[in-house]
Structure 1
């Protein structure tokens, strides 16, 4: 269902209620029979007037009062909540002021307004005073976790004004929350309006009004129940339609793929499995056809392959789950030879007892309110190289690589019989990868690892298979990565002199000095948690720094998290086009240029209309790169920009950067990939808060 359908339905209901009096068969003040007659339902009212005519005309006043009041409270609350999520001093002001306003008894506020003001003004004032603080808190809570999202930081770095970031980036993502909250405010305003009118502080007889009809006809409810039930049902129906309609419209703001179901295989004899877990003859539309995979007891199986071929979907099938948007038409999941019903309650119970999982985006699975020590054992955290104080931290205080290891420790804590890992080393340096390898090989549960690091997979796995064109085949030899083209360097475009960056009162890096020339590729390496991303954000102006940062020209930031880099409410084409539109490119020319930019990073034109939730991690990463390059920056600050890509795709992306470098682009590239670092003109190592150049031998 498209977003316009619930919007059209809401508009139709609103117009019908507001114009209902036009269709009344009688004048609303005309006496048509004896009082409270029910011979022809809904009969007559206390004065013998036609209930149907008054019912058709009686909702206009209620709706005309409640709808603007509820929307006004929601609008003011949304503005306050978004501003509070962005600006610290506004956040303190809004939270303290709203807490004080909500502490005042609501009934006292409503009665005071109703006595001192006309009914419509009383409802408006009551909703603004009582509803705005609630809306502000709801929107603030939804928007606050997003203010450090990659797509927001990228907008800040490219120079967008705060109000543009709030309206363009944050508001669409929290739009579902805003519209659902607006439904609640409108319903609250409707209830407040009904209460004020029922108390006799609203329209006076003989004006038609549903609330007044209920009050007038209560004494005769036994004679003609319809005189009371009809307006009461109309109020209930209208509030339900408004609430559900706005809620449905909100859920269409950021549409998610809808599961198309699972067609179970035909009944028949089941042969015993030779392994702990087995996928047998699995067929998934547009991905797999008759795919088979068996994992033996204690075996470690690696799965590699180009990005977007369905490796994560395959892992989800081994988890006993069918992700949204996937249609599985045939096949079985077997556990010790017994079928597991995918997507069932039994499959969920089986997962809890037997399976450990590290997903592709592990940081998103950590509860932001829980300390790390409550989710993972200290001994496993220590063996994975995490600092001693990590148990006292919360997820927001972890780097990407640290969050990755925490989730791995959590998965290992239950000693699962089956361990499923999706890119478990993408954010880790070589030393930390070695610690992960030791932990996995010492435990030896049956393990399936999806990775783009073929060299590491060969070193840790008993068997490595490649997913290509919907089938699994033995992986080929470790590829030889090409060397970059030689690019002539120009004048310096970035200079750091004795730069230090603090975060949350702690100095993470200090004394950093380096120079980046036009056309140069400078790699920044170092252990996970050393502060590489923090330094990049400091250079981009997102963290306060001391020392001197001299940038000549424009800067683009490409973050490390493929999930957070793109706004889920925008299509890839819209995200890539945004820097072009800011540069003054006309809409049609921008659309053409978007297709060219997507093609430059290896994505077809069909990706322009897709949303991030419909793409793989590698596809999202390449789209984010296309957006970063769209504004033709002088300096690209790239944080693990190839971590979600297979070797061939990563090389293709790096070749794109080589071509851009030949045109003058300077690249500061944070990476843990030795092959990527080998392509750089120079390599700097960040360790212990210091940044030193690695000398080639």
Structure 2
């Protein structure tokens, strides 16, 4: 039985440059107990299609549909109020960003009670139903969680709460819009396993929206590929992933990190051993205070973010740091660049302890070690042009304006951006373009080491491929070293020679990247590899 029948959906939005046809004649069918994967890049229309089905399009959108039927009820034959009630009760929606989807002023218990139907909202019934829903979505310590606010939850727990809200009225159709984009690989696997279990237990039809073909190929029964507002290819998941017909689908698959590694062939040999590492962390630890009252006889509570880590990066080498959120990988990287100070241990740059640097040596260290941030939108000042943001690191160097201008044009060319982009502002750029600007800003100081924190995590797969290829090309041309932090093992394999795997602040495995991933020794590394979505199909 179909839980969704959609025919000829069209969505138009008035934009500053004219009418944008976001969705052009999309038709879909989903059966009870079936997962339909809707895949495409940003701007393809997949999220607008999902929002249109749920009646959640922005006010500026004009929606036209030839035929829409949800759980046996047809839009044209149903009064508007009845249709709103049907959508509310028969359709559950899981949003991409759980922290934005949850009201920060309400506790988890209040959020679930608000989502329940009217006859379940009395305190006792709502309490029991909330515990039941939290148990269904695998939230531990459910009674304690009811009194917590969203900011007190991890990303994975917050997404489970969003799924619980979507299930509150026992829907027939579940729409999940990029439900795992911001999550670590193991948490991603847990959320996808949860959706799959709920589908089987409740006979749900599922529309799984994603830009990640590995996720779609691993979890969907059928796949529909969207490009420029249209479905360009559809069919069984095995056929679409293994033998795509349309050129756009073939391009998406070719851009997956696993396919890029296969196309690259044998990885280049690691650089020859250098007598002295460029940067080294020697038995470093970093702990943070958890707040509370500090008394001489009762020290405050502290959390160990990094415990006794030892890493080194030689000139021309690329080191990957992989692990889940909270593993300490970003804290370790921030110590290497000087944004955090070790609680114990030492950071060495060119063989010297940075804690003993004077002003001149510290300035050289800051100049020769640069950082590319994860959130490329937040890392750029919206009031500055691209050129101003890129050149900002040079303002204290006393360089003449002509040289600064020449360097600006050189680095824009190196990251494949036209010279006229220097006059643009961040909001006028795509995510991939902003990430290139972040890389250009790191390059303009002529660094010897670039530390990149999740450089491609929020980008479409084809844009990821462009940025990863850019990093490899710059390394070959400039001889620059990298430290790349990522939870995406495919990215680490493509960009890095060596890898360290972190868990709970400690390095549990280290070695040549291909050796570690081909024959992992530690159980945690094997667990991470087993959780990679689509490993059987796309890697």
Counterpart contact for 2:7–2:25, Cα < 8 Å: no
Kindly indicate whether residue 35 of structure 2 is the aligned counterpart of residue 300 of structure 1.
Answer: yes
Find the aligned partners of 2:420 and 2:44 in 1 and give their Cα distance: 16
Per the TM alignment, residue 412 of structure 1 is displaced from its structure 2 partner at its CA by: 4.5
Q: Which structure has more strand as a fraction of its residues?
A: 2
| Alpha-carbon distance in 2 for matches of 1:470, 1:304 | 12
Equivalent residues of 1:401, 1:427 under 8 A apart: no
**C-alpha deviations, 1:446-471, integer Å up to 9, x for none?**
33223233222111111222222432
The equivalent of 1:467 in structure 2 is 226
Q: For each residue in 1:505-537, what CA deviation from the matched residue of structure 2 results, as whole angstroms up to 9, or x when unmatched?
A: 322321111112233222222233333334334
Q: Which residue of 2 aligns with 1:481?
A: 260
1:276 to 2:4 alignment: yes
The C-alpha deviation readout for 1:83-102, integer Å capped at 9, x for no partner, is: xxxxxxxxxxxxxxxxxxxx
1:529 aligns with 2:326: yes
- Please, which of 175, 192, 203 is the counterpart of residue 437 of structure 1? 192
Higher helix fraction (1 or 2)? 1
User: Once the two structures are superposed, what CA deviation does each residue of 1:131-157 show, in whole Å capped at 9, x if it has no partner?
Assistant: xxxxxxxxxxxxxxxxxxxxxxxxxxx
Instruction: State the partner residue of 1:651.
Output: 465
Contact map agreement 1:317 1:333 (CA 8 A) in 2:
no
**Separation in 2 of the partners of 1:384 and 1:676?**
30
Q: Residue 631 and residue 570 in structure 1: after superposition, are their counterparts in 2 closer, same or farther (change >3 A)?
A: same
Residue 353 of structure 1 and its aligned partner are, at CA, apart by 4.1
Q: How does 1:328-343 map to 2 (within 5 A)?
A: 328=62, 331=65, 334-336=68-70, 338-339=74-75
1:601–1:656 CA contact under 8 A, matched in 2: yes
- SS at 2:32 equivalent: coil
Q: Is the 8 A contact 2:501 2:507 kept in 1?
A: yes
Give 1:358 deviation, angstroms.
Answer: 3.9
Rounded Cα–Cα distance in structure 1 between residues aligned with 2:84 and 2:442: 40
2: CA distance, partners of 1:425 / 1:436: 7
Answering whether residue 72 of structure 2 is matched by residue 312 of structure 1, we say: no
C-alpha root-mean-square deviation of aligned residues, in Å?
4.3
Residue aligning to 1:494: 279
Given the alignment of the two structures, is residue 510 of structure 1 paired with residue 245 of structure 2, yes or no?
no
Deviation at 1:656, TM superposition (A): 1.0
Shift of 1:678: 1.9
Determine the structure 1 residue equivalent to 2:525: none
Q: 1:358 to 1:485 in 2, by over 3 A?
A: farther
Q: Deviation at 1:657? A: 0.9
SS in 2 for 1:523: strand
Pair 549,305 (structure 1): closer, same or farther in 2 beyond 3 Å: same
1:685 aligned onto 2:501: yes
Q: Distance in 1 between matches of 2:86 and 2:400?
A: 54
- Residues 598-677 of structure 1 mapped to structure 2, 5 A cutoff: 620-662=434-476, 663-677=478-492
Long gaps (5+) in structure 2 = 13-19, 113-129, 235-239, 243-252, 291-301, 351-364, 520-539
Give the structure with higher Rg (CA).
1
Structure 1 443/591 Cα, relative in aligned 2: closer, same or farther at 3 Å?
Answer: farther
Question: Residue 448 of structure 1 is aligned with which of 186, 195, 207?
Answer: 207
TM-score by length of 2: 0.64
User: C-alpha distance in 2, partners of 1:350/1:622?
Assistant: 45
**Partners in 2 of 1:365 and 1:481 — Cα distance?**
35
Query: Could you say if the C-alpha distance between residues 452 and 346 of structure 1 is closer, same or farther in structure 2, counting changes exceeding 3 Å?
Result: same
1:571–1:609 CA contact under 8 A, matched in 2: yes
Q: 1:297 to 1:692 in 2, by over 3 A?
A: same
Judge conservation of contact 1:427–1:528 (CA < 8 Å) in 2: no
Structure 1 residues 360 and 435: alpha-carbon distance in aligned structure 2, compared to 1, 3 A threshold: closer
Q: Secondary structure at 1:550's aligned position in 2?
A: strand
Q: Is the 8 A contact 2:316 2:481 kept in 1?
A: yes
Summarize deviations over 1:397-427 as a string: whole Å, max 9, x none: 5555565555445544554444333332234
* Partner Cα distance (1:689, 1:374) in 2: 35
Contact 2:305 2:326 in 1 (8 A): no
CA 1:296 to 1:406, structure 2 compared with 1: closer, same or farther past 3 Å? same
Give the number of the structure with larger relative contact order, counting CA–CA contacts within 8 Å between residues 6 or more apart: 2
Q: Does 1:546 align with 2:362?
A: no
Provide the C-alpha distance between the structure 2 equivalents of 1:532 and 1:611, rounded to a whole number of angstroms.
31
Looking at structure 1, the residues matched to 489 and 6 of structure 2 have their Cα atoms a distance apart, in angstroms, of 35
Q: Distance in 1 between matches of 2:431 and 2:132?
A: 31
- Asked if structure 2 preserves the Cα contact closer than 8 Å seen for 1:521 and 1:666, the reply is yes
**Among candidates 520, 532, 556, match of residue 317 of structure 2:** 520
How far off its partner does 1:540 sit? Answer: 4.2
The 8 Å contact of residues 3 and 172 in structure 2, kept in 1 or not, is answered as no
Q: CA deviation at 1:282?
A: 1.5
Determine if the alignment matches structure 1 residue 424 to structure 2 residue 179: yes
Mapped to 2, the partners of 1:641 and 1:317 lie a distance apart of 32
| Post-superposition CA distance 1:554-593 (Å, at most 9, x none) | 4333344455444455565654454465666778987887
